[in-house]
Chains A and B, each alone.
Chain A
């Protein structure tokens, strides 16, 4: 089943009188359970495409479908609903709420989804375990290392059991061992839970984890290869 379908999508940014074509007619289809890397040089449109897939932004033209539902025409609230139930995000800068503990950061999407206290607690503890951080539950982000913060972010992205996780340069701010650990966890969770991962990167170490590599250049998909690369290579 297709989790993501992008049909002839363009995205034009206007800054003053200058127009920038970030995406120029992108077509893409991603099946459930895929582990896909969007690669390309800076300015190739990776992040813009991720934002469209994540219902954070809307295309200038074309259509975006998430779980077969067209999301390109949804209003703010409908997009928020879509994000809350279906999509998890992992950002380059970890993006944890600094005043909340690891536990509370992971709990936040569950709170927003209106889950009760008991199942919420059970789910958070389960996720902390899944990202190997059960003993860091009550630490705040500034008491965690970069790798630990990103693992909390992964757990948070998975909290509501979304069908799609979007990661924008998830290892860009991490050293090699931490980057590897984060990618290992993402791979494992992809295999264990079947959740679809799409991540933007230009880090060759990360690309090597991908089972499918979509290459973007100047806002167009220039290559789409489904090479299976052994994890950790």
Chain B
């Protein structure tokens, strides 16, 4: 066995440049696979985390008749006495934070410009607002009793050409089906680095939101973040009853999960293409080796080497190429993925409705992906040696000794 690899190593050394480029092609194939896997996982994971933090939470408790798509403000569709319900939920040991929120649709106008917005009433003191607090690019967060202040997303502010301290005219739907309007002062501008969210969301204190929408002491939802995402199902099961509907992040973000499944299917096709190209390089290298060494194969056959052993020689060469390719691929792919993990790629506003993407996507490569892709590449390289190996083993000794037909 050792001799087999020694011979294979020397055979590859006969044409060092060709062997190196074959291993390099394999390595580049693997690094591409790793990068693709990392970016896809990172993108989906990032989108999901962003959406959970900014929009869906791990769980939402809503009134039974509440329809998220309609952003209903009818009292029957809302949770009455939300503070009381929130306090009960917050007392659960798995719950990190629970806070009531009120959603209303409206229009923000400044001069000739007007933009459809989602007005979100929040409890300014809640820890759930951390992403917005951390993302303040100018001004300050409002106080709970602020009756005239709002926070604008940076993208929206840019659209309307507004800055902190400016005034913005808001028209908001009310529980009665009317439209309330008021001039608000922009207390601050936040950025969650998620253009899809920042371009349409306006925050105001919950009390003020309830007042302007005439939803007196009602909330659209109780937004809940858990200590561990994995506890979602058990907490949801515990909360399930006849009084409220409980929506988990998986239910709220079904679109992201479906997109992820679809993307996974697509990426398998891409994997296949990359692997097929890689395999072709190996096949080409080894077929050339078979033709160049036909006479030697005849000599081995004359010495009594059987077909399977001749095949093994070519498999050994392929194995060494694959190992070289793996090393190159892991280094190259590792560096590329590291860059994509920590620096990321700027994608700007993806503008996909229903999904929140950060303006940069970051890779997230799991060890499982590294191992499975490395093994797959390795196996494909070995399989690619099958044709040249069979070709060599089937050579008639007499023909081979003459140097082929």
Give A contacts to B, CB under 8 Å.
51, 54, 56-57, 76-77, 80-85, 89, 91, 93, 95-100, 108-109, 111-113, 156
Per the bound structure, the CA–CA distance linking A93 and B397 in Å amounts to 15
Task: Across the interface, name the chain B residue whose C-beta is closest to A109.
Answer: B303
The 0/1 profile, CB within 8 Å of A marked 1, for residues 1-43 of chain B is 0010001001101100000000000000000000000000000
Q: A56-B401, A95-B295, A97-B296 are in contact. Are A89 and B306 (CB under 8 A)?
A: no
Question: Are B303 and A83 within 8 A (Cβ)?
Answer: yes
Does B116 sit at the interface, judged by CB under 8 A? no
Instruction: Determine which residue in B300, B302, B398 has the highest number of CB atoms from chain A within 10 A of its CB, and name it.
Output: B302
Q: Closest 10 interchain pairs by CB?
A: A84-B304, A99-B10, A83-B304, A56-B397, A80-B306, A95-B299, A89-B302, A57-B398, A109-B303, A80-B304
Question: Are B397 and A109 within 8 A (Cβ)?
Answer: no
Question: Are A97 and B304 within 8 A (Cβ)?
Answer: no
Chain A residues lying within 8 Å of B3, measured Cβ to Cβ, are: 111
Instruction: Determine which residue in A51, A80, A112 has the highest number of CB atoms from chain B within 10 A of its CB, and name it.
Output: A80
* 17 A-B contact pairs sorted by A residue (CB < 8 Å): A54-B302, A56-B397, A80-B301, A80-B306, A84-B303, A84-B304, A85-B304, A95-B299, A95-B302, A96-B299, A97-B299, A97-B300, A99-B10, A99-B11, A108-B300, A112-B303, A113-B304
Question: Are A80 and B296 within 8 A (Cβ)?
Answer: no
Chain B residues lying within 8 Å of A76, measured Cβ to Cβ, are: 306-307
User: Whole-angstrom distance from the CB of B366 to the nearest CB of chain A?
Assistant: 41
Contact of B401 among A83, A91, A96, A111 (CB under 8 A): A91
Question: Are B7 and A99 within 8 A (Cβ)?
Answer: yes
Does B309 sit at the interface, judged by CB under 8 A? yes
Task: Across the interface, name the chain A residue whose C-beta is closest to B296.
Answer: A97
Does B305 sit at the interface, judged by CB under 8 A? yes
Task: Across the interface, name the chain B residue whose C-beta is closest to A84.
Answer: B304
Task: Across the interface, name the chain A residue whose C-beta is closest to B10.
Answer: A99
Per the bound structure, the CA–CA distance linking A56 and B298 in Å amounts to 9
Q: A51-B398, A56-B398 are in contact. Are A83 and B7 (CB under 8 A)?
A: no
Task: Across the interface, name the chain B residue whose C-beta is closest to A93.
Answer: B295
Chain B residues lying within 8 Å of A112, measured Cβ to Cβ, are: 303-305, 309
User: Whole-angstrom distance from the CB of A118 to the nearest CB of chain B?
Assistant: 15
User: Whole-angstrom distance from the CB of B289 to the nearest CB of chain A?
Assistant: 12
Question: Are A99 and B309 within 8 A (Cβ)?
Answer: no
Question: Are A99 and B13 within 8 A (Cβ)?
Answer: yes
Per the bound structure, the CA–CA distance linking A84 and B306 in Å amounts to 9
User: Whole-angstrom distance from the CB of B18 to the nearest CB of chain A?
Assistant: 15
Chain A residues lying within 8 Å of B303, measured Cβ to Cβ, are: 83-84, 89, 108-109, 112, 156
Per the bound structure, the CA–CA distance linking A85 and B401 in Å amounts to 20
Chain B residues lying within 8 Å of A156, measured Cβ to Cβ, are: 303
Task: Across the interface, name the chain A residue whose C-beta is closest to B393.
Answer: A76
Given A56-B397, A99-B14, A112-B303, 15 extra CB contacts under 8 A: A54-B302, A56-B301, A76-B307, A77-B306, A77-B307, A80-B307, A83-B302, A84-B305, A91-B299, A93-B295, A97-B7, A100-B10, A109-B303, A109-B304, A156-B303
Per the bound structure, the CA–CA distance linking A226 and B300 in Å amounts to 34
Per the bound structure, the CA–CA distance linking A99 and B302 in Å amounts to 18
The 0/1 profile, CB within 8 Å of A marked 1, for residues 285-316 of chain B is 00000000001100111111111010000000
Question: Are A80 and B299 within 8 A (Cβ)?
Answer: no
The 0/1 profile, CB within 8 Å of A marked 1, for residues 383-404 of chain B is 0000000000000111001000
Q: A80-B305, A83-B304, A85-B304 are in contact. Are A100 and B7 (CB under 8 A)?
A: yes
Per the bound structure, the CA–CA distance linking A111 and B4 in Å amounts to 10
Question: Are B296 and A56 within 8 A (Cβ)?
Answer: no
Per the bound structure, the CA–CA distance linking A145 and B253 in Å amounts to 77
Chain B residues lying within 8 Å of A99, measured Cβ to Cβ, are: 7, 10-11, 13-14
Per the bound structure, the CA–CA distance linking A97 and B295 in Å amounts to 10
Question: Are A81 and B11 within 8 A (Cβ)?
Answer: no
User: Whole-angstrom distance from the CB of A135 to the nearest CB of chain B?
Assistant: 22
The 0/1 profile, CB within 8 Å of A marked 1, for residues 334-359 of chain B is 00000000000000000000000000
Chain B residues lying within 8 Å of A54, measured Cβ to Cβ, are: 302
Question: Are B304 and A56 within 8 A (Cβ)?
Answer: no
User: Whole-angstrom distance from the CB of A150 to the nearest CB of chain B?
Assistant: 14
Per the bound structure, the CA–CA distance linking A113 and B3 in Å amounts to 14
Per the bound structure, the CA–CA distance linking A83 and B14 in Å amounts to 28
Per the bound structure, the CA–CA distance linking A51 and B305 in Å amounts to 16
Per the bound structure, the CA–CA distance linking A97 and B7 in Å amounts to 10
